Structure 1
Amino acid sequence: MSLYRGRFAPTPSGPLHFGSLIAALGSFLDARQAGGEWLLRIEDIDPPRCPAGAADEIQRQLEAFGLQWDGPVLWQHARNDAYQAALERLTDQGLAYPCSCSRKQWRDHPVYPGWCRHGVREPDKPVAWRLRSDRGLRPVVWQDRLFGEQRFDPARLGDVVLKRKDGLWAYQLAVVVDDAGQGINNVVRGFDLLDNTPWQRQLQHALGAATPSYLHLPLIIGEGGQKLSKQNLAPALPTRDAAVRPLLHAALKALDQAPPETLATAPVSEQLAWAVEAWSVARIHPQAERPLANNRVTAS
């Protein structure tokens, strides 16, 4: 069996919050218990969304929680050539095409109806590049380690954008190319990304990339019923040790790992040593969302 290679891949649109910690901690513990590697990738392909200093703050937050990654950080802004090569390969296979349509034009349809599949409708306008979801791997079936068998027809999800009209690369293509380039064979992330997996599996199949194992973790929902996110102004993770310790303990509880209460004020290294040894996916309740209320800790 090949060495376990996992990763945490945040977008530096702001500091990490408690929901981010759940994803980072789950992927870290899964990798460390397997004796594998845990890599850090900064997904900064959208510069307007990435304020200066945010990526540095994310790294400081991870270090404060003892989540030390292996090897150098991979920065997506430096990966243009790899993404372009992948797009050209998809185009050669008839799986990617240019599209001039705007969201306003197809707003009455549940998904983009593929109007430009056989030629750009408005050649004088800027184009995005889309994946043909009606070709290639169908249906997409995989076994999620927490939520069991998943089955999707990608055609019902629409032709996802691979490269935007403004020339920036889109998430779906970049994540597949980078997972393949880094040899990632285990992906642990939030449940909100589960329905992205069909497009990614199609891309992996088309590009001849290996298929990672997937584990999607429950999302932490705030008081307003929305997932914790930077857009919803979720509090930033602290870096002061006195605040980090109880928050790390709360994150282990949110992952259903049942850490002893005596660990709540223990050093980060002691909490993580216990958690790596005790980590069990079987303990996690397979629910898509769970409220923050029972895990609320002041992040200051």
Structure 2
Amino acid sequence: MPPVFRFAPSPNGYLHLGHVLSASLNADMVKAAGGLLLLRIEDIDATRCRPEYEAAIYEDLRWLGLAWEEPVRRQSEHFADYRAALARLEAMGLVYPSFESRAEIAALVAANEANGPWPRDPDGAPLYPGTAKTLGAAERSDRIASGAPYALRLDMAAALARMPRLIWTETGTGPEGESGTVIANPAGWGDVILARKDTPTSYHLAVVVDDAAQGVTDVVRGRDLFHATSVHRLLQTLLGLPEPRYHHHRLVTDADGRKLSKSTQATGLRALRSQGLTPPDIRRLVGLD
């Protein structure tokens, strides 16, 4: 079987040069390997994802000269898959609800930091400091039945107790130059959120379910997701899903050295197109000959 790659943007804004680099690298590696390129639309965030952005993704990628296999997988059409995976983890006793709001969690972190620095995940967010894991089953059920908001978290300690040492194969490089066989460290993320009351999945859960469902063999994505691979390897192993190869690539940054982001209105592909740039011009802008 040929290797299978995927490009998986979220339709919550227009593509920028960081997306161009990732999509183009995927396409280049597909061509070199004689593989297949899949397109996945990661639209689980119903409040930010819009049909016009999804349509623009297809248009911009075609303008770049990219082609992909059909049909396109849209995450919003596969919530049942994520619920099924979550149910399997719940049956293992690895999932629990937490009920604190973001403001309450921030207050707990601030209180704990009065005694010294509170641990943070690789993205810089504080690890979950609450005590929801100690709530009894009856109290959890009562709170959920009352309509209280909640997040479903992975009991990281219990999950790791089931695991041997986790590794992955890295054909790119991590932030510190990591490559080859990389030792995963999911514990650094604490009790990550797997779903919320109104959203049946998180990025972490959806991405491993999707990659397995689509037969993805090679994940090519930005270096900002390098450390998240530790969580993905843990979930893959718990759920008995296949392990892809990973290739994390450099990021396209702005003048201040920050990675490009839709939220900061980074230079968009459509704006550059309107200025008369051609696809070869765009490839040169992202450092591809």
Normalising by structure 2, we get a TM-score of 0.81
The CA distance in 2 between the partners of 1:158 and 1:212, in whole Å, is 23
Is residue 143 of structure 1 aligned with residue 169 of structure 2? yes
Identity of aligned residues (%): 38
Structure 1 alignment gaps of length 5 or more: 260-300
**Residue from 113, 116, 133 that aligns with 1:117:** 133
Could you give the per-residue CA deviations for residues 63-84 of structure 1, whole angstroms, max 9, x where no partner exists?
A: 0001111121111110011011
**Which structure features the higher share of helix residues?**
2
Equivalent position SS for 2:194: strand
Task: Report the alpha carbon displacement of residue 179 of structure 1 after superposing the two structures with TM.
Answer: 0.6
The CA distance in 1 between the partners of 2:184 and 2:245, in whole Å, is 17
Q: 1:78 — aligned with what?
A: 77
Amino acid in structure 2 at the alignment position of 1:47: A
The CA distance in 2 between the partners of 1:34 and 1:240, in whole Å, is 33
Does structure 2 conserve the Cα–Cα contact (< 8 Å) formed by 1:18 and 1:228?
Answer: yes
Task: Report the alpha carbon displacement of residue 164 of structure 1 after superposing the two structures with TM.
Answer: 1.8
Task: Report the alpha carbon displacement of residue 244 of structure 1 after superposing the two structures with TM.
Answer: 2.5
The CA distance in 2 between the partners of 1:240 and 1:71, in whole Å, is 28
The CA distance in 2 between the partners of 1:183 and 1:132, in whole Å, is 28
The CA distance in 1 between the partners of 2:199 and 2:63, in whole Å, is 36
Q: 1:24 — aligned with what?
A: 23
Q: 2:185 — aligned with what?
A: 153
Q: Which moved more, 1:7-16 or 1:132-141?
A: 132-141
The CA distance in 2 between the partners of 1:176 and 1:84, in whole Å, is 13
1:145-294 to 2 correspondence within 5 Å? 145-147=171-173, 148=179, 149-238=181-270, 239=273, 242-251=276-285, 254-255=287-288, 259=289
Q: 1:126 — aligned with what?
A: 149
Does structure 1 conserve the Cα–Cα contact (< 8 Å) formed by 2:184 and 2:233?
Answer: no
Q: 1:15 — aligned with what?
A: 14
Structure 2 alignment gaps of length 5 or more: 110-117, 119-125, 174-178
Equivalent position SS for 1:209: coil
Aligned residues: 254
Cα root mean square deviation, aligned: 2.1
- Higher RCO, Cα 8 Å, sep 6+: 2
